Amino acid sequence: MPSNPSKANSRSGPRILMAEDNAINQRVGQLMLRKAGFDIDLVADGSEAVEAHRLQPYDLILMDCQMPIMDGFEASSLIRKMEGAAQPVIVAVTANALVGERERCLRAGMDDYLSKPFLAEQLVALVEKWTGKRTSAAAV
Ligand SMILES: [Mg+2]
C-alpha cells in the first residue's frame, strides 16, 4: 500500500476532531487544546464530521449539538450506525442548558457532555480522560 501523505501520519497523539459551526469557537477550542499539546482537525457541520470519520476514523469527536446542515445529534446517530468503522468517543458540546439535554445526547449515542461556555481546563481534562493521554506539555 502506498504511504498516506496526510498530516495525520506525522502526528503521535490521538486523532481528535472538533465539529463546530462557529469559527471563533473553533479557533478557541483549537488553541486551548494545542496549548495542552493536542492537535485537532476541524469541520463546520455534522455531515462533514460523518464524512471525515468515514474517511479516516477518529479516536475522539467533540460534537457541537447545534450546527446548520446537520446537527450533532443526527451526525452522532449516523456515526453509531456505521458498519465496520472504528467507533469514536463522542463528546457533545452544547450551549443549551435545557433539562433533558444530556439525556438527548446520550440517546443519540454520545458518551459525554460539555456545556458552553467552558474553561480550557475543563476541555483539556475531558480530552485527557477520554483519550487516556496526558501530553508532555500537560504533564506535571
Ligand atoms: Mg453551533
Domain ranges of the chain: 12-130
pLDDT of residue 6: 46
97 C-alpha vs ligand 1 centroid, how far in Å?
14
And the C-alpha cell for 131? 483519550
pLDDT of residue 46: 98
pLDDT of residue 54: 96
Q: Among positive and negative, which fits the CA dihedral 90, 7, 14, 58?
A: positive
pLDDT of residue 119: 97
Please state the separation of Cα 56 from the chain's center in Å: 14
pLDDT of residue 2: 47
List CB-based neighbours of ion ligand 1 within 5 Å.
21, 64, 66-67
11 C-alpha vs ligand 1 centroid, how far in Å?
28
94 C-alpha vs ligand 1 centroid, how far in Å?
8
Q: Indicate the pTM of the whole model.
A: 0.87
- Condensed to tens digits (0 to 9), the pLDDT of residues 17-55 reads 999 999 999 999 999 999 999 999 999 999 999 999 999
Class of domain 12-130: alpha beta
- Condensed to tens digits (0 to 9), the pLDDT of residues 52-91 reads 999 999 999 999 999 999 999 999 999 999 988 789 999 9
Residues 6 or more apart in contact with residue 98 via CB below 8 angstroms = none
55 C-alpha vs ligand 1 centroid, how far in Å?
23
pLDDT of residue 58: 97
User: What mean pLDDT is predicted for residues 127-134?
Assistant: 89
As to burial, measured by CB atoms within 10 angstroms (0-12 exposed, 13-18 middle, 19+ buried), residue 4 is exposed
- Condensed to tens digits (0 to 9), the pLDDT of residues 112-125 reads 999 999 999 999 99
Please state the separation of Cα 64 from the chain's center in Å: 8
